[in-house]
Amino acid sequence: MATEVVQRTERMTLSAHMLSRARRGVLDMLHTHELCLHALSEPDVHALRLAARHLQPLLQVLHVELPKDRMLAKAIDQVRAVLHHTSALREHQVYRLAVLGLQASAPLRNMLERAAVRKERSAAERLHKQLRKFDRERLVRLAARVWPRTSPAADRRALQRAVMQRRSHMHQRIAALSAEDPNALHKARVAVKRYRYMVETFAPYLPDMKSAQRTALKRHQAQLGRWHDERIMADRLLSEADQLPPAQRRACLELATDKATWCAQEQERLCASLRRVFHPAS
């Protein structure tokens, strides 16, 4: 009898966890979206993307449980669109901040910064127009809605299926890795990130997910993030070099080459590490 009471409490907690976190996540997205409409600063854009990342797994589990719910399906599409539209400006902002820390001469750094600011402003103007089309009322209705009743068993099945979907997707991306294909590693990076957000969001309800596994996900996400940022930097430096005077062009090309070399070596190491740690057969 005592065991039954504990299990019932845990099941009710999972349902309450999903709904309360989803409502909170919607409100976080609405708040950060409002901030971005006023000023597309790097912290605000980052906060909006984080809110979207945290909301995604909650909506996914709910949608697995309520697959015919059109409101959920449209909300998922809207969150995905926010991440898609904000990615370009986010990369411009990360690049500009990285330029400020470059070990380079002041003239080169200043030229690169001016070019980065121009491109960032252009990307911000495009994003602002896209964010103005964001349907805030749809998310408000989602946060305020009365949800259909679901059984504790259905809650658990939905969570298990959603986790399995993201794990399977991550395994597919890792299986497709190639040390010569940076785009394949980028796709694996996104899949690792999405899987990590899922298991972190529902960690108390995933007893089979050991803390060592979550630690490995966090470590690889950080390493993949650094590789991604350095790769963007290398590509941008290479493209900017052609626009620079000869005195700065060579130094810029040397920086780009150093970073590209590091990225190639890191890519090979990351591909091997991801296969070893997260391969489906392991």
Asked if 239 contacts 157 with a C-beta cutoff of 8 angstroms, the reply is no
Stated pTM of the model: 0.90
Sorted by where each begins, the domain ranges of the chain are 2-139+153-277
Give the pLDDT of the chain (282 residues) as one tens digit per residue. 434 433 444 444 688 888 889 999 999 999 999 999 999 999 999 999 999 999 999 999 999 999 999 999 999 999 999 999 999 999 999 999 999 999 899 999 999 999 999 999 999 999 999 999 999 998 999 889 888 888 888 999 999 999 999 999 999 999 999 989 999 999 999 999 999 999 999 988 988 888 888 899 999 999 999 999 999 999 999 999 999 999 899 999 999 999 999 999 999 999 999 999 987 554
Instruction: Output the six-digit token pair for 263.
Output: 């990225």
Domain 2-139+153-277 in CATH: superfamily? CHAD domain (1.40.20.10)
Q: Which residue stretches of the chain are H helix?
A: 2-38, 42-65, 70-100, 106-132, 136-144, 152-175, 182-201, 211-241, 246-278
Note whether 49 and 83 are within 8 A (CB). yes
Angle, nearest 10°, between helix axes 211-241 and 70-100? 60
Q: How far apart are CA 259 and CA 265, in angstroms?
A: 10
In terms of phi and psi (left: phi > 0; alpha: psi -120 to 50; beta: otherwise), the region of 187 is alpha
- Cα–Cα distance list, 227 to 100, 102, 232, 233, 281 (Å): 18, 16, 9, 10, 26
